[in-house]
Amino acid sequence: MSDGLIASMAQALRDPAQPCPAGLRESCPADPAQRFAIYRNNVQSSLIDALADTFPVCRALVGADFFIGLARAHLQACPPRSPVLMEYGAEFADFIAGYPPAASLPYLADMARLERAYVMSAHAADSVPLTSRQLQDLLSRADLLHDARFQLDPALALVRSDYAVASLWGAHQEDDVTAALAGVRPGQPETALLVRSDLVVAITAVPQSSGELIQHLIDGASLGSAASIFQARHPDFDLASALGLLIAYQSIIHVQLPGAN
């Protein structure tokens, strides 16, 4: 029955240890197992390539051979669930965190998180930032600012790490990666801010305090409550410079004032 055949083919395509499924026509030239191997190789290699395209810095960090082993193990555990391969790799960072051979590189999982965030940011919905005039107008309604809620650019994202992932990523964009890496201290915690401007995503390391403030705003906190938490946790840091990041990167796309719709 053909239905069982598709099921056994699907299983054999995923697991190279499985034998070639029965039910293939004996043919010349080349026996069915050799023919089936073409499909299996194509499935495996094209999905590994898709991961390599989304995680180029991870691949560079560990080398091509290790990456193939890692990617193969990942696609056994978490095969793609959507035909849109742009989205494949959502679980890659968590998988790396639990993958013993990668344990000697504790920042690899966070680098995967950052690279995945990069792709998501690149393809996030378009939005129109508030103009500086619109932002200035808010100052005339200062009494409403406390309960104002900011809606930020869908392309904006944050990745916080105990390692210097933003700097490591940046070094891999340079022509001389080795030279650039010499100046990076991997053990330095960083908060990476991703913003998309002029169709291009930029990654910059921002102060952890600013990252937290922005994260609170993303999570829907009012400006007043986000600012209160910020000042309680980071009394030495400047709220204006944290807000200034969002303004400089034109990341505020809407401000919901209390009483307005």
Q: Which residues in 115-174 contact other proteins (CB under 8 A)?
A: 118-119, 122-127, 132, 135-136, 138-139, 142-143, 145-146, 154-155, 168, 172-173
84: left (phi over 0), alpha (psi -120 to 50) or beta: beta
Q: How many residues bind other proteins, per CB under 8 A?
A: 122
The answer to whether 42 and 14 have CB atoms below 8 angstroms apart is no
Q: Note whether 176 binds other proteins by CB under 8 A.
A: no
* Residue corresponding to tokens 């991997």: 186
Q: Note whether 253 binds other proteins by CB under 8 A.
A: no
The answer to whether 108 and 96 have CB atoms below 8 angstroms apart is yes
Q: Nearer Cβ to other proteins, position 57 or 191?
A: 57
Residue 111's nearest CA partner among 207, 192, 46, 179 is 192
Q: Nearer Cβ to other proteins, position 4 or 220?
A: 4
Choose which of 128, 199, 232, 260 interacts with other proteins (CB under 8 A).
199
Q: Nearer Cβ to other proteins, position 158 or 177?
A: 177
Choose which of 76, 98, 189, 197 interacts with other proteins (CB under 8 A).
197
- Please, what is the minimum distance in Å from the beta carbon of residue 194 to other proteins? 11
Burial readout 143-164 (b: 16 or more C-beta within 10 A, e: otherwise): ebbeebbbbbbbbbbbbbbebb
- Please, what is the minimum distance in Å from the beta carbon of residue 93 to other proteins? 16
Q: Note whether 24 binds other proteins by CB under 8 A.
A: yes
Q: Nearer Cβ to other proteins, position 163 or 191?
A: 163
Residue 90's nearest CA partner among 62, 107, 112, 110 is 112
Q: Note whether 88 binds other proteins by CB under 8 A.
A: yes
CA-CA distance, 84 to 189, in Å (whole number)? 33
- Please, what is the minimum distance in Å from the beta carbon of residue 94 to other proteins? 18
CA-CA distance, 126 to 198, in Å (whole number)? 11
Choose which of 66, 91, 218, 257 interacts with other proteins (CB under 8 A).
66
Touching other proteins, residues 38-57 (CB under 8 A): 38-50, 53-54, 56
DSSP letters for 93-113: HHHHHT-GGGTT-TTHHHHHH
Q: Note whether 244 binds other proteins by CB under 8 A.
A: yes
The answer to whether 139 and 81 have CB atoms below 8 angstroms apart is no
Q: How big is the chain by its Cα radius of gyration, in Å?
A: 24
Binding mask 212-241 for other proteins (x = CB under 8 A): -----------xx--xx---------xxxx
